Chain A
């Protein structure tokens, strides 16, 4: 798929994501929209995994550490054919397998996440297992910037560089907002690139909505002997004008009117592209 085709798909995925959240009556709208382009590139261009290879021991692993943005992950997985699109209507519903955070019950999801600061240590274990078996698979995770305040990330950061895990790629969805407000006001992570460099990581910075930049950083990330930390600068609520950069959309659920307005905006862009 060309960049233009992927960008068009992203508009469709955003519409579906909003529908999932409205149907669920819950969800993480702002963060879902900010990380959607990253997931779109990961699942359509980068990850060596497909619905047919979910049990292949050599598949690439993706663990979503910022588990609260599960609706975006469900939307992308369904689009890639991991499960029927109709399943999305059951997210968060009584007795549905589609919980409000990732679980391994869903085809394509590797680990149960949702409590923050868990994905990176798990991925260090997975990347170590790959090295021990001399296997070809790589391990990817996505973190939120607010999540970096969890100390376990830094424990894992030490271990990944100690063990020279060049098969490990962490992507930071750096949308600068968390539930309380700006990350810089809640608990500053800056200078985040220097911190991860100082921890021995290969650090790259990209526009997290630019398909060429994301692809270049994620598809061929490795510096031999170093894990990779991709800082993806993103916009919380990306794609819907009134949601962009507004903290209340962290887990705001659109009203009927807001939903219609958002869909209209996205459709306008879809027609134009």
Chain B
């Protein structure tokens, strides 16, 4: 018997989620798979392309249901992306699905040239991204993907936070006429949004209001930011939380407004502290003349600690407790 995976949330964090009225959903990965199947049933040009990844991508039902709309390339990620480019150039809408660590490193040149430079409407889906594979180690982590992909022209980069954002990001990718990258993990996610929330590529969503401090977060770290905002509120500190589901194009307007209206800013991401959301926000704020106390929370530039995703998050302060403490420190109220 293997030990149960450690929980991402402490009892106090779970109590805060309950207090905020949040309910646990399912893994974004599962939401992706079902959404893609629904879209593909309605559009025969949608093709899933997998590199021995239909199991990890929860696409086995897709393969069974729509066998003519799935292409298996075997363990060959360069070929995965090259084939997706060829399919897209000939009128198909391919979704190349592979663990983020391989998709964005092994096939980076194919992403750059065959997809982005050739400008074909392919969707690249990085599954089990960030440190989703936790203890499997650095080979299986994608902590570089946002940095390298931000540096490539002509690519929309989306990092959904919950099931709603995942569904909307996949729908947007299916409609896109240009290249798109979507990345998410495989752990169950709390729902963050009210049913009437609007999702628009390139527009950050405010998930909590406040002005003393702001946490600008992306992907599966947004929940921790929201819980920290709840905790800070109980200590009399108002904290705005932005879910930046689109890393590129970045919602500069929302980030600058946050810089103007809030006393300090923390960014948080499941990515190296270099080249991701944090540095994108720093650049936007500084060039926009907004210099507030600022802190980037992410995975530091070191050999990542061994552990499950939850252990790694906790270790580097990506948790309600960790972000609360960073906020108090930044506000010099610790």
Contact = CB atoms under 8 A, between A and B. Distances in A.
Contacts of A151: 78
Contact of B86 (A104, A124, A155): A124
Interface in B66-100: 68, 71, 73-74, 76, 78-79, 81-92, 94
A132 interface: yes
Given A129-B92, A159-B74, A121 B87 contact: no
Contacts of A156: 79, 82-83
Determine chain A's interface SS by DSSP, over half rule.
helix
Which of B47, B86, B110 has the most chain A CB atoms closer than 10 A to its own CB? B86
B113 A118 contact: yes
A121 B110 contact: yes
Given A114-B113, A129-B91, A124 B47 contact: no
Given A111-B118, A121-B83, A125-B86, A155 B78 contact: yes
Contacts, number: 101
Interface in A90-130: 103-104, 110-115, 117-118, 120-130
A128 B118 contact: no
A237 B29 CA distance: 54
A122 B85 contact: yes
Which of B78, B92, B110 has the most chain A CB atoms closer than 10 A to its own CB? B78
A201 to B, nearest CB: 16
Contacts of B92: 129, 132
Contact of A118 (B68, B74, B82): B82
Interface residues of B, number: 28
Nearest to A157: B79
B119 interface: yes
Contact of A130 (B85, B90, B117): B90
Contacts of B90: 57, 61, 125-126, 129-130, 133
B114 interface: yes
A103 B71 CA distance: 27
Contacts of B68: 132
A129 B87 contact: yes
A219 to B, nearest CB: 22
Pick the 8 closest A-B CB pairs, nearest first. A125-B86, A121-B82, A129-B90, A155-B79, A125-B83, A155-B76, A126-B86, A122-B86
20 contacts: A61-B89, A111-B114, A112-B118, A117-B78, A118-B109, A118-B113, A121-B81, A121-B82, A122-B86, A122-B89, A124-B83, A124-B86, A125-B87, A125-B90, A125-B94, A128-B86, A152-B79, A155-B78, A155-B79, A156-B83
Interface of A: 57, 61, 103-104, 110-115, 117-118, 120-130, 132-133, 139, 151-152, 155-156, 158-159, 162
